[in-house]
Structure 1
């Protein structure tokens, strides 16, 4: 497949994922999908994030035209094996950020690409260390509105970066779509890295 012939769908309405995928200069459409995002009993965090990303791309594949490639992703914050998800309200956000305060957590970001009956996957694992966070900072951060729909109740690309003392891994992965892993998956569609760096023609 050549870039000029590429029909690509991003199975996500996340503005962060749209922004990140847009950096490649590829034409793509956005498709809203809804899958259950709840860990199964005994399911490891890596297995969970891979499954959710796969479910999203699978649903997108079922809804999209046959010749269309479908890309999806899922990102989760994990501490001590516990998947944090998105906060359900201010108290939940306070609990999350309080537990993350002064500690190192993992951010797992799985990417799933389907084209026809083919399926490719990748996983990015990043480690983020937070400085100590004061309760009044958590309250002020919640009041900003930023953490309400974010995994782990923070956005590293926004005000949440003020909590980050150290990052080992992928900044874009923590945002929600790891560009390194995504670029490698797109190579299966004939899109080499130099083409992505230059910006593929529409």
Structure 2
């Protein structure tokens, strides 16, 4: 408790209110030495200090330092590398493996360092979609297939789990394609906007 009170005292001593009040109080001391304050100088000094403390802007806590969009893309890229290392150790049927290769190829292209990743970083929904695919959707689809495949071997005659995996990977690839198309449209609008600017610019 004593440590908490001591910290509060030090925090106040370093606060804007105390610094502004002290500056105003110092002005009162100057007035005292020049004879302006007269015998009421303690009241003048205290009043000026209080007025300065009241007029000082309130303390503003620093906002949280969240990573910017480019940093988020770099983090997803690192997770994507770990995902590929995981997928390299998983045995999949040929059809599913082909669809997975198409999906990871597209995700890898979107995360490629350079201007493409910069376009992605400017689209928060796109960053979220890629992050969700890399960190949740793809590993969940593959892991669920591996688990279900084992149970299917124990109880034959059930629906082949690779059908669900292929369908899931197809849906994820379609989602990534829609994102890529949206990003392309963004760049196309940027190009068209520059064309209009050049056309409308005075000669």
- For the aligned pair, the TM-score class normalised by the smaller chain equals under 0.3
Of structures 1 and 2, the one scoring higher in RCO (CA 8 A, sep 6+) is: 1
Larger helix percent: 2
- In our comparison, the structure showing a higher alpha carbon Rg is 2
TM-score for the superposition, normalised by structure 1: 0.24
TM-score for the superposition, normalised by structure 2: 0.24
Larger strand percent: 1
